[in-house]
Amino acid sequence: MPASVEVSVTQARVTLRVPVVIKALVFKPSEIIMSTEARKISEIILDFVLSFTISNIGIVANVLVIMVFIKQGFKESVNISMTTIAVWDLAKCLAASMQRMAGPMATWSEADAESWTNISVVAFNHLICYSTYVTSVLAAYVAVERCLCVCIPFKVKWLITPKVALSISLTISVVIFGLFVVMSGIYDIVWVYSDVYNQTIAIYLKNDFYYANEYLLFEYYNLSGILWPLVSFVVIVFCTLIIVYKLKESTKFRSGHAEAKGQSTIQLSTRDKQVVKMLLVIVGVYVFSLFPRIAHYIAKYIIHEFYFLRLYHNFFVFVCYFLWIFDLINGAVNFFIFFAMSTSFRATFYKMFKRQTQAKSNSLTENSNIDA
């Protein structure tokens, strides 16, 4: 997100590919709802500190998730789909971290930070949104898969083999990403001379493709931004309700047999409780991350001036900072959910790093014996 949107050339069609001298004009956003100073303070706190920290945690967390699932193998279809989600979450967190490198860069060169910020808008900004859409649809697929495991447990392994799961995961990734990637081509990077920094900086401008398709592009983008998260959210909640119902139904069946034999009524088994808890946590995470984005896109669709470089620019950017925090939390939290709620994941994690620690310890012991 631009750290200093004020240093921006007026939106004109520029197709030059070499550094040129253009006088940078100042965009002064309206301060009807939020002042520019308040927006800049929120940028430092929410974007350059909080989002940057969460994105770096997410990078480490998703690398660990991928390592654990690779160690466990891909005989189970759910491992394939969850690994695919982790790869997209890793891409999201990497893009977010790279985009916010402008914060540290500003400590030695504000001009370089401005150039990096503007380049990052084109290179990384949309990728964060695209990854969120892809992972939300993949999460919906995982919910359907788990629902089938409860409803038709004896057929699901025959229906959804590891190869089928891989094909579905790759298809979802390519199709959903492909539906949105067209929006990455609406800006051009141009090098201009800035009076503010007294040197040449990179800026992004709307290009010919944008002006030729402006209405259709944003109509399509806004509607898609509402449709895919909403559909994914509905599928996740619906499948979770079915799973909870089926588990309770199964428990009642077992309780009936127990009572017929004169035994006390039993509750949900430990394993069933863990499954329900895991699903409720996952649903909670997606409610937390998807609902604000759906509301944001609806507001943007209804209120024309609620967008970048328009009347409510400052407030729009402020809201975006919160959305990115939600997206990044969603992309970073899965490791902690798996670690806390999955005994097999936790056991594999400990086993994997315990071996590495032992190998390192043995190596140090051998070296000390040689030195002796």
User: Residue 361 above 80 pLDDT?
Assistant: no
Q: What's the whole-number mean pLDDT along residues 86-96?
A: 95
Which of 83-97, 109-123, 252-266, 320-334 has the largest mean confidence?
83-97
Q: What's the whole-number mean pLDDT along residues 93-99?
A: 93
Q: What is the pLDDT of residue 269?
A: 56
Mean pLDDT of the chain: 80
Place of tokens 């788990």: 146
User: Residue 124 above 80 pLDDT?
Assistant: yes
Q: What is the pLDDT of residue 13?
A: 39
> Between residues 163 and 267, which one has the greater pLDDT?
163
Neighbours of 195 (CB within 10 A): 11
Task: Please state, in angstroms and rounded to a whole number, the distance separating the CA atoms of residues 241 and 263.
Answer: 29
> Between residues 215 and 171, which one has the greater pLDDT?
171
Q: Which two tokens stand for residue 240?
A: 């979770």
Alpha-carbon torsion (170, 172, 173, 178), positive or negative: positive
Radius of gyration, alpha carbons of the chain: 25
Q: What is the pLDDT of residue 367?
A: 46
Task: Please state, in angstroms and rounded to a whole number, the distance separating the CA atoms of residues 273 and 276.
Answer: 5
Q: What's the whole-number mean pLDDT along residues 62-89?
A: 93
The pLDDT tens digits of the residues spanning 247-263 come to 777 766 665 555 555 44
Say what the alpha-carbon torsion angle 220, 302, 206, 114 is, to the nearest 10 degrees: -120
At 86, which amino acid appears?
Answer: A
Which of 51-55, 159-163, 215-219, 294-298 has the largest mean confidence?
51-55
> Between residues 299 and 21, which one has the greater pLDDT?
299
Q: For the ranges 131-140, 179-188, 279-288, 327-336, which has the lowest average pLDDT?
A: 279-288
Q: Is 194 helix (H, G, I), strand (E, B) or coil?
A: strand
The pLDDT tens digits of the residues spanning 130-172 come to 898 899 999 999 889 888 888 887 787 788 899 999 999 999 9
Q: What is the pLDDT of residue 165?
A: 94
